[in-house]
Amino acid sequence: MSLDPSLERTHSVVRARAMEGRVARRRKQRAIDWLAGKYFAVSGTLAIVFIMLIFIFLAREGLKALVEVHPMRFIGAVTENVITEKPEFTMTWQPVSETPKYSLVPLMAGSALVAIPATIFSGLVGLACGIFLAEIASRRVREIVKPGLELLAGVPTVIIGFFILVSVASFLQEVFHASRRLNAFVGALGVSVVIIPTIATLVEDALRAIPREIREGAYALGATRWETIRRVLIPTGASGISAALILGMGRALGETMIVLMVTGNAAVVTSDIFKSIRTMTATLAAELGEVAQGSEQYHVLFFVGMVLFTITFLLNMLAELVISRMRRKLTL
Protein backbone atom coordinates (compact mmCIF):
# COMPACT_ATOMS: atom_id res chain seq x y z
CA MET A 1 0.00 0.00 0.00
CA SER A 2 1.53 3.25 -1.05
CA LEU A 3 0.60 6.63 0.24
CA ASP A 4 -0.58 9.42 -2.00
CA PRO A 5 2.62 11.52 -2.51
CA SER A 6 0.81 14.76 -1.83
CA LEU A 7 -0.61 13.36 1.35
CA GLU A 8 2.83 12.22 2.43
CA ARG A 9 4.15 15.72 1.93
CA THR A 10 1.39 17.19 4.08
CA HIS A 11 2.20 14.61 6.64
CA SER A 12 5.84 15.54 6.87
CA VAL A 13 4.96 19.23 7.02
CA VAL A 14 2.63 18.57 9.88
CA ARG A 15 5.30 16.54 11.62
CA ALA A 16 7.88 19.25 11.12
CA ARG A 17 5.48 21.85 12.41
CA ALA A 18 4.80 19.72 15.46
CA MET A 19 8.53 19.36 16.00
CA GLU A 20 8.96 23.09 15.70
CA GLY A 21 6.20 23.62 18.24
CA ARG A 22 7.83 21.24 20.65
CA VAL A 23 11.21 22.86 20.24
CA ALA A 24 9.72 26.30 20.78
CA ARG A 25 7.87 25.13 23.86
CA ARG A 26 10.99 23.48 25.19
CA ARG A 27 12.90 26.70 24.63
CA LYS A 28 10.24 28.66 26.48
CA GLN A 29 10.34 26.19 29.36
CA ARG A 30 14.11 26.53 29.52
CA ALA A 31 13.81 30.31 29.61
CA ILE A 32 11.26 30.20 32.42
CA ASP A 33 13.45 27.74 34.27
CA TRP A 34 16.46 30.03 33.90
CA LEU A 35 14.48 33.02 35.10
CA ALA A 36 13.16 31.08 38.10
CA GLY A 37 16.70 30.06 39.02
CA LYS A 38 17.88 33.67 38.92
CA TYR A 39 14.86 34.85 40.92
CA PHE A 40 15.43 32.28 43.67
CA ALA A 41 19.14 33.00 43.79
CA VAL A 42 18.34 36.65 44.46
CA SER A 43 15.74 35.74 47.10
CA GLY A 44 18.19 33.39 48.73
CA THR A 45 20.52 36.21 49.60
CA LEU A 46 17.77 38.22 51.32
CA ALA A 47 18.80 37.30 54.84
CA ILE A 48 22.36 38.45 54.16
CA VAL A 49 21.11 41.63 52.50
CA PHE A 50 18.89 42.52 55.45
CA ILE A 51 21.60 41.86 58.02
CA MET A 52 23.89 44.17 56.05
CA LEU A 53 21.20 46.81 55.59
CA ILE A 54 20.47 46.80 59.30
CA PHE A 55 24.10 47.39 60.10
CA ILE A 56 24.55 50.04 57.41
CA PHE A 57 21.51 52.03 58.50
CA LEU A 58 22.39 51.85 62.18
CA ALA A 59 25.91 52.97 61.38
CA ARG A 60 24.73 55.72 59.02
CA GLU A 61 23.09 57.55 61.91
CA GLY A 62 25.11 56.11 64.77
CA LEU A 63 28.59 56.99 63.50
CA LYS A 64 27.59 60.66 63.34
CA ALA A 65 27.50 60.52 67.12
CA LEU A 66 31.24 59.81 67.16
CA VAL A 67 31.83 63.08 65.35
CA GLU A 68 29.46 65.17 67.44
CA VAL A 69 30.32 63.73 70.82
CA HIS A 70 33.85 63.12 72.04
CA PRO A 71 34.25 59.31 72.35
CA MET A 72 35.42 59.76 75.94
CA ARG A 73 31.97 61.04 76.82
CA PHE A 74 30.51 57.62 76.05
CA ILE A 75 32.37 56.43 79.13
CA GLY A 76 31.99 59.38 81.46
CA ALA A 77 32.51 63.08 81.95
CA VAL A 78 34.02 65.40 84.53
CA THR A 79 31.26 67.43 86.13
CA GLU A 80 30.95 69.61 89.14
CA ASN A 81 29.43 67.95 92.16
CA VAL A 82 26.33 69.86 93.19
CA ILE A 83 26.95 69.52 96.91
CA THR A 84 30.72 69.65 97.34
CA GLU A 85 31.20 71.92 94.31
CA LYS A 86 34.29 69.97 93.34
CA PRO A 87 34.85 68.49 89.90
CA GLU A 88 34.47 64.73 89.73
CA PHE A 89 34.36 62.00 87.11
CA THR A 90 30.86 60.61 86.72
CA MET A 91 29.43 57.95 84.46
CA THR A 92 25.85 59.00 83.92
CA TRP A 93 23.28 58.73 81.17
CA GLN A 94 21.45 62.03 81.22
CA PRO A 95 20.80 63.03 77.61
CA VAL A 96 18.32 65.78 78.44
CA SER A 97 20.19 68.36 80.49
CA GLU A 98 22.22 71.52 79.99
CA THR A 99 25.33 69.49 79.26
CA PRO A 100 24.01 66.15 78.08
CA LYS A 101 25.76 63.12 79.57
CA TYR A 102 25.99 60.14 77.29
CA SER A 103 27.85 57.53 79.30
CA LEU A 104 26.97 54.08 78.00
CA VAL A 105 28.40 52.45 81.12
CA PRO A 106 25.17 52.49 83.20
CA LEU A 107 23.19 51.17 80.25
CA MET A 108 25.64 48.35 79.55
CA ALA A 109 25.86 47.55 83.26
CA GLY A 110 22.07 47.47 83.40
CA SER A 111 21.87 45.15 80.40
CA ALA A 112 24.49 42.87 81.94
CA LEU A 113 22.77 42.84 85.32
CA VAL A 114 19.63 41.50 83.64
CA ALA A 115 21.17 39.28 80.98
CA ILE A 116 23.81 37.46 83.04
CA PRO A 117 21.56 36.30 85.92
CA ALA A 118 18.84 35.47 83.38
CA THR A 119 21.28 33.35 81.37
CA ILE A 120 22.53 31.50 84.45
CA PHE A 121 19.04 30.80 85.75
CA SER A 122 17.62 29.89 82.34
CA GLY A 123 20.70 27.82 81.62
CA LEU A 124 20.04 25.62 84.65
CA VAL A 125 16.31 25.36 84.02
CA GLY A 126 16.73 24.97 80.26
CA LEU A 127 19.36 22.26 80.75
CA ALA A 128 17.01 20.35 83.03
CA CYS A 129 14.14 20.70 80.55
CA GLY A 130 16.36 19.68 77.64
CA ILE A 131 17.62 16.61 79.50
CA PHE A 132 14.06 15.69 80.43
CA LEU A 133 12.83 16.03 76.84
CA ALA A 134 15.73 14.21 75.22
CA GLU A 135 16.51 11.45 77.70
CA ILE A 136 13.87 10.96 80.37
CA ALA A 137 10.43 11.65 78.88
CA SER A 138 8.61 8.95 76.98
CA ARG A 139 7.56 9.80 73.46
CA ARG A 140 4.01 10.50 74.56
CA VAL A 141 5.00 12.81 77.43
CA ARG A 142 7.41 14.66 75.15
CA GLU A 143 4.63 15.25 72.64
CA ILE A 144 2.70 17.09 75.33
CA VAL A 145 5.55 18.95 77.05
CA LYS A 146 7.32 20.17 73.94
CA PRO A 147 4.33 22.05 72.52
CA GLY A 148 3.90 23.50 76.01
CA LEU A 149 7.40 24.99 75.82
CA GLU A 150 6.81 26.19 72.26
CA LEU A 151 3.62 27.90 73.36
CA LEU A 152 5.47 29.54 76.24
CA ALA A 153 7.99 30.86 73.73
CA GLY A 154 5.09 32.22 71.67
CA VAL A 155 3.55 34.34 74.42
CA PRO A 156 4.02 38.00 73.43
CA THR A 157 6.69 39.57 75.63
CA VAL A 158 4.49 42.54 76.41
CA ILE A 159 2.05 40.12 78.08
CA ILE A 160 4.81 38.70 80.26
CA GLY A 161 5.88 42.22 81.16
CA PHE A 162 2.34 43.27 82.03
CA PHE A 163 1.65 40.17 84.10
CA ILE A 164 4.86 40.59 86.11
CA LEU A 165 4.10 44.28 86.55
CA VAL A 166 0.65 43.75 88.03
CA SER A 167 0.89 40.48 89.89
CA VAL A 168 4.40 39.05 90.33
CA ALA A 169 6.53 42.11 91.16
CA SER A 170 4.84 42.98 94.46
CA PHE A 171 5.00 39.38 95.62
CA LEU A 172 8.72 39.19 94.81
CA GLN A 173 9.36 42.47 96.61
CA GLU A 174 7.87 41.05 99.77
CA VAL A 175 9.73 37.76 99.49
CA PHE A 176 13.14 39.35 98.90
CA HIS A 177 12.59 42.55 100.92
CA ALA A 178 13.77 44.59 97.95
CA SER A 179 13.79 48.35 98.34
CA ARG A 180 12.37 48.83 94.86
CA ARG A 181 9.41 46.95 93.47
CA LEU A 182 10.75 47.10 89.92
CA ASN A 183 14.37 45.98 89.74
CA ALA A 184 16.92 44.02 87.74
CA PHE A 185 15.99 40.76 89.44
CA VAL A 186 12.37 41.01 88.34
CA GLY A 187 13.60 41.84 84.83
CA ALA A 188 15.93 38.84 84.79
CA LEU A 189 13.07 36.58 85.86
CA GLY A 190 10.82 37.92 83.09
CA VAL A 191 13.54 37.55 80.48
CA SER A 192 14.10 33.97 81.68
CA VAL A 193 10.52 33.09 80.75
CA VAL A 194 11.37 34.04 77.17
CA ILE A 195 14.74 32.32 76.86
CA ILE A 196 14.14 29.09 78.79
CA PRO A 197 12.21 27.54 75.86
CA THR A 198 15.00 28.57 73.46
CA ILE A 199 17.71 27.02 75.61
CA ALA A 200 15.67 23.89 76.36
CA THR A 201 15.02 23.23 72.67
CA LEU A 202 18.66 23.72 71.70
CA VAL A 203 19.89 21.49 74.55
CA GLU A 204 17.41 18.82 73.50
CA ASP A 205 18.63 19.04 69.89
CA ALA A 206 22.25 18.78 71.06
CA LEU A 207 21.56 15.68 73.16
CA ARG A 208 19.43 13.98 70.52
CA ALA A 209 22.13 14.47 67.92
CA ILE A 210 24.38 12.11 69.92
CA PRO A 211 24.34 8.65 68.31
CA ARG A 212 22.66 5.81 70.20
CA GLU A 213 25.85 3.73 70.22
CA ILE A 214 27.42 6.14 72.68
CA ARG A 215 24.57 5.61 75.15
CA GLU A 216 24.71 1.87 74.66
CA GLY A 217 28.45 1.90 75.24
CA ALA A 218 27.93 3.65 78.57
CA TYR A 219 25.24 1.19 79.62
CA ALA A 220 27.54 -1.70 78.66
CA LEU A 221 30.15 -0.30 81.03
CA GLY A 222 27.59 -0.49 83.82
CA ALA A 223 26.50 3.11 84.03
CA THR A 224 22.97 3.95 85.14
CA ARG A 225 20.87 6.21 82.94
CA TRP A 226 21.70 9.27 85.05
CA GLU A 227 25.41 8.46 85.01
CA THR A 228 25.18 8.17 81.24
CA ILE A 229 23.55 11.58 81.05
CA ARG A 230 25.88 13.19 83.54
CA ARG A 231 29.23 11.72 82.50
CA VAL A 232 28.81 10.86 78.83
CA LEU A 233 26.02 12.79 77.15
CA ILE A 234 26.53 16.22 78.73
CA PRO A 235 30.29 16.23 78.02
CA THR A 236 29.66 15.00 74.46
CA GLY A 237 26.98 17.61 73.86
CA ALA A 238 28.93 20.33 75.67
CA SER A 239 29.46 22.46 72.61
CA GLY A 240 25.77 22.35 71.71
CA ILE A 241 24.85 23.24 75.26
CA SER A 242 27.25 26.17 75.32
CA ALA A 243 25.84 27.36 72.00
CA ALA A 244 22.39 27.28 73.62
CA LEU A 245 23.66 29.44 76.47
CA ILE A 246 25.32 31.92 74.10
CA LEU A 247 22.14 32.26 72.04
CA GLY A 248 20.10 32.60 75.21
CA MET A 249 22.39 35.39 76.38
CA GLY A 250 21.98 37.16 73.03
CA ARG A 251 18.19 36.98 73.36
CA ALA A 252 18.39 38.22 76.95
CA LEU A 253 20.48 41.25 75.94
CA GLY A 254 18.06 42.06 73.13
CA GLU A 255 14.82 41.62 75.06
CA THR A 256 13.05 44.96 75.13
CA MET A 257 9.46 45.09 76.31
CA ILE A 258 9.84 43.09 79.52
CA VAL A 259 12.84 45.06 80.77
CA LEU A 260 11.22 48.32 79.71
CA MET A 261 8.18 47.51 81.83
CA VAL A 262 9.62 45.88 84.93
CA THR A 263 13.18 47.05 85.66
CA GLY A 264 12.32 50.55 86.88
CA ASN A 265 14.41 52.30 84.20
CA ALA A 266 16.84 54.11 86.49
CA ALA A 267 20.16 54.56 84.70
CA VAL A 268 22.63 53.89 87.50
CA VAL A 269 25.81 51.85 87.73
CA THR A 270 25.19 49.18 90.32
CA SER A 271 25.86 45.55 91.00
CA ASP A 272 22.88 45.20 93.34
CA ILE A 273 20.35 43.06 91.52
CA PHE A 274 17.50 44.42 93.63
CA LYS A 275 18.08 47.99 92.45
CA SER A 276 16.24 49.60 89.58
CA ILE A 277 18.35 49.64 86.43
CA ARG A 278 18.02 50.60 82.81
CA THR A 279 19.12 48.50 79.86
CA MET A 280 20.31 49.58 76.41
CA THR A 281 17.15 48.21 74.81
CA ALA A 282 14.82 50.01 77.25
CA THR A 283 16.69 53.26 76.67
CA LEU A 284 16.17 53.00 72.94
CA ALA A 285 12.51 52.11 73.32
CA ALA A 286 11.82 54.91 75.78
CA GLU A 287 13.80 57.74 74.21
CA LEU A 288 13.97 57.40 70.45
CA GLY A 289 10.29 58.29 70.03
CA GLU A 290 10.79 61.54 71.92
CA VAL A 291 13.89 63.04 70.30
CA ALA A 292 14.12 65.25 67.26
CA GLN A 293 15.37 63.44 64.17
CA GLY A 294 18.94 64.36 63.36
CA SER A 295 19.68 65.75 66.81
CA GLU A 296 22.75 64.81 68.82
CA GLN A 297 20.81 62.53 71.15
CA TYR A 298 19.14 60.89 68.14
CA HIS A 299 22.55 59.96 66.75
CA VAL A 300 23.77 58.76 70.14
CA LEU A 301 20.72 56.50 70.44
CA PHE A 302 21.49 54.98 67.05
CA PHE A 303 25.04 54.50 68.27
CA VAL A 304 23.65 52.59 71.26
CA GLY A 305 21.60 50.50 68.82
CA MET A 306 24.74 49.83 66.79
CA VAL A 307 26.63 48.68 69.88
CA LEU A 308 23.71 46.43 70.87
CA PHE A 309 23.44 44.98 67.38
CA THR A 310 27.18 44.35 67.21
CA ILE A 311 27.17 42.49 70.54
CA THR A 312 24.22 40.26 69.65
CA PHE A 313 25.61 39.72 66.15
CA LEU A 314 28.91 38.48 67.56
CA LEU A 315 27.15 36.24 70.09
CA ASN A 316 24.96 34.75 67.36
CA MET A 317 27.96 34.15 65.10
CA LEU A 318 29.87 32.51 67.94
CA ALA A 319 26.95 30.16 68.64
CA GLU A 320 26.72 29.36 64.94
CA LEU A 321 30.42 28.45 64.83
CA VAL A 322 30.17 26.28 67.94
CA ILE A 323 27.13 24.43 66.57
CA SER A 324 28.70 23.77 63.17
CA ARG A 325 31.83 22.48 64.87
CA MET A 326 29.71 20.13 66.96
CA ARG A 327 27.92 18.84 63.85
CA ARG A 328 31.19 18.10 62.12
CA LYS A 329 32.49 16.28 65.18
CA LEU A 330 29.40 14.12 65.53
CA THR A 331 29.16 13.15 61.87
CA LEU A 332 32.79 11.98 61.77
Q: Which of residues 170-229 bind other proteins (CB under 8 A)?
A: 193, 196, 200, 218, 221-229
DSSP designation for 180:
S
The CA distances from residue 277 to 258, 265, 328, in Å, are 13, 5, 42
- The secondary element (H helix, E strand) that includes residue 89 is strand 87-90
Q: Which of residues 118-147 bind other proteins (CB under 8 A)?
A: 125, 128-129, 131-133, 136-137, 143, 145, 147
Q: Which of 150, 174, 216, 329 binds other proteins (CB under 8 A)?
A: 150
Angle, CA 263 vertex, CA 260 and CA 267 arms, to 5°: 90
CB of 85 vs other proteins, minimal distance in Å:
37
Q: Which of 20, 24, 39, 295 binds other proteins (CB under 8 A)?
A: 39
What is the x/- site pattern for other proteins, positions 70-99, by CB under 8 A? ------------------------------
How many CB atoms are located within 10 Å of the residue 324 CB? Answer: 12
User: Among the residues of the chain, which ranges form H helices?
Assistant: 5-44, 46-68, 105-131, 139-154, 157-163, 169-176, 184-208, 212-220, 225-228, 234-236, 238-254, 257-262, 280-287, 296-331
Q: Which of 12, 40, 328, 331 binds other proteins (CB under 8 A)?
A: 40
CB of 11 vs other proteins, minimal distance in Å:
25
Sign of CA dihedral 202, 244, 124, 185: negative
Q: Which of 77, 232, 322, 326 binds other proteins (CB under 8 A)?
A: 232
Best CA proximity match to 129, nearest among 116, 145, 118, 143: 145
Rounded to 5 degrees, what are φ and ψ at 137? -65, 145
What is the x/- site pattern for other proteins, positions 277-306, by CB under 8 A? ----x--xx--xx---x-------xx--x-
CB 172 within 8 A of CB 239: no
Q: Is residue 23 at the binding interface for other proteins, with CB under 8 A as the rule?
A: no
CB 254 within 8 A of CB 281: yes
CB of 247 vs other proteins, minimal distance in Å:
7
CB of 176 vs other proteins, minimal distance in Å:
18
User: Quick one: 137 or 268, whose CB is closer to other proteins?
Assistant: 137
User: Quick one: 72 or 158, whose CB is closer to other proteins?
Assistant: 158
Best CA proximity match to 249, nearest among 149, 109, 112, 131: 112
Q: Which of 32, 66, 72, 96 binds other proteins (CB under 8 A)?
A: 32
The CA distances from residue 214 to 127, 211, 244, 325, 328, in Å, are 20, 6, 22, 19, 16
Q: Which of 16, 36, 72, 96 binds other proteins (CB under 8 A)?
A: 36
Q: Which of residues 48-67 bind other proteins (CB under 8 A)?
A: 48, 50-51, 53-54, 57-58, 60-61
User: Quick one: 47 or 83, whose CB is closer to other proteins?
Assistant: 47
